[in-house]
Amino acid sequence: MSEKVNSISINGRLTLNMHSLNNEGHEGNQILTRQVTIVDQHGNPATVTAVSGDMLKHIMCEHFWLIAKEEGLNLSETSQTFNANRIKASDIQRTKKDTQADIADDIIATCSLCDIAGAMLTDLGNFSRKSIAEFGWLIALPESNQTENYFHAKYVTDAKLRKEEAAGTAEEDEERKAENTGQNIFHRPANSGVYAFVGNFDIFRLGYNDISKKYALSDDERDKRYRALLKSILYTFIKPNGALRNTQNPHILNFEGIITTSDSACPAPTISPLNSSYVEEIQEVKENLNKITNASIHCIEFNSMSEFSEKMVELINNGKPYKLHEASRE
């Protein structure tokens, strides 16, 4: 594989058991698991469990934030507390009189999290920076997913309190509810299945000002952010944070798939693992693209979580972010 990395795509099948990472809310005392309706590879509609791309990106951002704190990467004052806004105008000391290109330079230099995950400043004319990371939904294969619901209750253990409740007035009952001493019955989902994952990462945009078409960071700083970004992607699969992990920590059974990389302007190809032939299809796309791109596309297959971590560590240690020719500074 070439040392320079323009873009990376990850396509794989992740097997999770007994998780509830992403729910749609609740109806009464029933927690509703997130579901989507898709069209399978045979053209048939199917309703399956899923984890949203928003959740996956949030997981990656949290890991990146922890890495940035540990490795001393720049974070805005807002991002220091992992605030969802990431940055505000006062963090960069800019005004509406400054050009959009100047604002972009300051955002990139001030906050590594804004650089990789994007940002919007509503107090500076709705200025926005597009994310480097693009996550698709984590979608269960129609033939390999199951959801069950389990009964849960918070029980009152004080016998005296139960007697008081039996003899109490309506007003006293309301007081006890306000004190969180009552009983709460609810139903909680647990999902198991093989999930298709697709994600794309435009490495060349690390530190890149999309307005001025120049880089706002040194090569050394871009290298540091490259390694931190890839670490955070790896950690997303090692520990997928989400809802109800305190009692439904997912059983991660396996992760298999293919990583594609590009060292030219040609994007790293991706095909959904909802297609049972996705690995073969991507390999053939690579062969076709390499006939017109001087062999710039590379494929790295993996059959387990340990192999995935091995391949990602190789990319972290050996790769460097591709650099576009910058616009004239005149």
Q: 142-189 pLDDT, tens per residue?
A: 999 887 777 666 655 555 555 555 655 556 555 555 555 555 666 677
DSSP string, 115-151: HHH-EEEGGGTSEEE--SEEE--EEEEEEEEEEEEEE
Chain centroid to Cα 329, Å, comes to: 35
Query: Are 174 and 125 within one domain?
Result: no
Nearest-Å Rg of the Cα atoms of the chain is: 24
Instruction: Enter the tokens of residue 42.
Output: 């045979």
Clarify whether residues 92 and 170 are in a common domain.
no
Q: Are residues 97 and 23 in the same domain?
A: yes
Whether 308 and 13 have beta carbons less than 8 Å apart is answered as: no
* DSSP 8-state secondary structure symbol assigned to residue 258: E
List the one residue out of 152, 134, 188, 147 whose CA is nearest residue 50: 147
Answer left, alpha or beta for residue 93, where phi above 0 means left and psi between -120 and 50 means alpha.
left
Q: Are residues 133 and 164 in the same domain?
A: no
Domain count, the chain: 2
Q: Do residues 289 and 308 share a domain?
A: yes
Same domain for 233 and 208, yes or no, is yes
Can you give the pTM of this predicted structure?
A: 0.87
Pairing of strands 4-5, 320-321: parallel
Residue 329: inside a domain? no
Contact between 50 and 19 under an 8 Å Cβ cutoff? The reply is no
Helix, strand, coil distribution of the chain in percent, nearest 5: 35, 30, 35
Q: Which structure tokens are listed for 140? A: 């269960």
Residue 297 shares a structural domain with residue 173? no
| Residue 234 domain-assigned (yes or no) | yes
Among 133, 168, 188, residue at a domain's last position: 188
Question: Is 326 inside any structural domain?
Answer: no
Pair (195, 232) in one structural domain: yes
Expressed as residue numbers, the domain containing 179 is 150-188
Residues paired with residue 214 on neighbouring β-strands, in sequence order: 209
133 shares its domain with 282:
yes
In a domain, 50, yes or no: yes
Cβ atoms of 233 and 10 within 8 Å: the answer is: yes
Same domain, 65 and 201: yes
Residue 122 placed within a domain: yes
The string of pLDDT tens digits covering residues 20-70 is 887 766 666 667 788 999 999 999 999 999 999 999 999 999 999 999 999
Same domain, 80 and 163: no
Q: Could you read off the pLDDT tens digit of each residue along the chain, which spans 330 residues?
A: 458 999 999 999 999 998 888 776 666 666 778 899 999 999 999 999 999 999 999 999 999 999 999 999 999 999 999 998 899 888 988 777 788 999 999 999 999 999 999 999 887 778 899 999 999 999 999 999 887 777 666 655 555 555 555 655 556 555 555 555 555 666 677 889 999 999 999 999 999 999 999 999 999 999 999 999 999 999 999 998 876 666 668 888 999 999 999 999 999 999 999 999 999 999 999 999 999 999 899 999 999 999 999 999 999 999 999 999 876 654
pLDDT, mean over the chain: 87
The answer on 284 and 159 residing in a single domain is no
Q: CB count, 10 Å around CB of 92?
A: 22
Question: Tokens standing for 219?
Answer: 């090569």
Per the domain annotation, does 328 fall within a domain?
A: no
**Sign of the CA dihedral running 219, 225, 227, 229:** negative
CA–CA distance, 207 with 303 (Å, rounded to integer)? 33
Domain annotation covers residue 330: no
In a domain, 327, yes or no: no
